[in-house]
C-alpha cells in the first residue's frame, strides 16, 4: 500500500485478535497485488494492456463506483488520471508538458465502458489507476472483517486512511490528529470519531521536482493551484472520505455535505 499500515484490535482473546489481523493482512496484500498499477503482472495491468476484458464481481463494483464518484465530484475524482502518470517520469518540464498535452484528450471515465462483465475502451491510451481508491477500499474491507468477528472496538489506519470502529475501551471516541502541512512532524488540530471514516489528502505527500517545478502525486488535467494545503473528510466509509479529500485538493470549492477540515495556505483551519 506504499505506506505504513496498522490495525489496533481491542479484544480479550489474543488468539482471535491475531487470526483476525492475519486475515486483514492477507486481504490487503491480495488487493495490493491485484490492483497494482505499476506491476505488469497485476490483474489491473492486464486490463490496461487490453490483455483481458473480463471483469470479476469485485472489479466491476469498484469501476462502477468510480464512475459514480466521477459524477458526484463533477469530474474531479477520475481514476483515468493514470493515463498521465508516465509523462511525470520524463526528465524535463518541456517533455512532461508535451506528453501531458498529447495524452489529456484520453483522460476521463467516459473513455471506458462496462457492459455485463466486460470492460471496453474507446482508444488504446486510456489507463485506469485505482491507487487513490484501493487502499481506502481495503480499510473498509478490514472493517467488514472486524464486524463479522463481533469486534466492537478497533482502529484501522492504512497510511492515514482511517476507520474508528466503536469507541476506545475507556468509552471515549478516538482522537485523530491533523498534521501541519508545512511541518508534518507537528499537529495543527484534531478531531474525534467513532464508527466513522477519516482521510486526509495533502500537498506535501510524494511530490517530484523537475527543473524547479513541483509535480504533486495528485494528478489533474489542469495545473493545481493550491488554495488549501490539506483536506480532511469524515464520512461513513473510507472510500467516500478518500474520494472527497482528494477531490477537494483539486477543487477546494467543491460542494459536499460531508464533514470536512481544510487547512488553507495561511495555515488557517476551516471546518464545517
Q: Write out the chain's pLDDT in tens, 272 residues.
A: 788 999 999 999 999 999 999 999 999 999 999 999 999 999 999 999 999 999 999 999 999 999 999 999 999 999 999 999 888 777 688 888 898 899 999 999 999 999 999 999 999 999 999 987 999 999 999 999 999 999 999 999 999 999 999 999 999 999 999 999 989 899 999 999 999 999 999 866 555 565 666 655 555 555 555 578 999 999 999 999 999 999 999 899 899 999 999 999 889 999 98
Question: Residue 2 has what pLDDT?
Answer: 80
Residue among 139, 152, 132, 196 at smallest CA distance from 25: 139
Task: Look at residue 189 in the predicted model and tell me its pLDDT.
Answer: 96
pTM of the model: 0.91
pLDDT of residue 184: 87
- Nearest in space to 32 (alpha carbons), one of 142, 148, 110, 114: 142
Number of domains comprising the chain: 1
The CATH number of residue 30's host domain is 3.10.520.10
Buried b / exposed e along 108-120 (16+ C-beta atoms within 10 A): bbebbeeeeeebe
Instruction: Identify whether the C-beta of residue 70 lies closer than 8 Å to the C-beta of residue 78.
Output: yes
Structural domain for 139, as ranges: 5-271
Contact 145, 25 (CB under 8 A): no
Note whether 94 and 211 are within 8 A (CB): no
Amino acid at each position: 500500500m506504499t505506506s505504513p499500515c496498522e490495525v489496533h484490535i481491542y479484544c480479550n482473546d489474543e488468539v482471535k485478535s491475531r487470526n483476525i489481523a492475519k486475515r486483514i493482512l492477507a486481504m490487503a496484500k491480495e488487493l495490493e497485488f491485484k490492483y497494482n498499477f505499476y506491476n505488469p503482472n497485476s490483474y489491473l495491468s492486464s486490463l490496461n494492456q487490453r490483455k483481458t476484458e473480463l471483469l470479476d464481481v469485485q472489479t466491476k463494483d469498484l469501476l462502477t463506483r468510480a464512475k459514480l464518484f466521477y459524477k458526484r465530484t463533477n469530474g474531479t475524482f477520475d481514476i483515468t488520471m493514470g493515463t498521465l502518470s508516465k509523462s511525470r517520469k520524463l526528465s524535463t518540464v518541456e517533455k512532461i508538458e508535451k506528453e501531458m498535452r498529447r495524452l489529456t484528450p484520453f483522460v476521463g471515465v467516459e473513455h471506458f465502458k462496462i457492459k455485463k462483465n466486460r470492460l471496453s475502451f474507446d482508444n488504446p491510451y486510456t489507463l485506469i489507476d485505482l491507487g487513490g481508491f484501493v487502499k481506502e477500499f481495503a480499510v473498509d474491507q478490514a472493517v467488514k472483517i472486524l464486524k463479522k468477528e463481533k469486534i466492537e472496538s478497533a482502529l484501522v489506519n492504512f497510511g492515514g486512511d482511517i476507520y474508528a470502529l466503536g469507541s476506545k475501551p475507556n468509552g471515549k471516541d478516538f482522537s485523530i490528529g491533523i498534521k501541519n502541512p508545512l511541518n508534518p512532524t507537528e499537529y495543527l488540530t484534531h478531531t474525534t470519531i467513532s464508527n466513522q471514516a477519516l482521510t486526509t489528502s495533502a500537498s506535501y505527500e510524494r511530490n517530484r521536482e523537475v527543473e524547479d517545478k513541483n509535480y504533486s502525486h495528485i494528478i489533474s488535467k489542469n495545473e493545481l493551484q493550491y488554495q488549501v494545503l490539506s483536506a480532511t473528510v469524515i464520512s461513513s466509509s473510507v472510500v467516500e472520505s478518500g474520494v472527497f479529500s482528494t477531490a477537494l485538493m483539486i477543487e477546494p470549492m467543491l460542494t459536499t455535505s460531508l464533514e470536512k477540515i481544510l487547512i488553507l495556505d495561511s495555515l488557517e483551519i476551516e471546518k464545517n
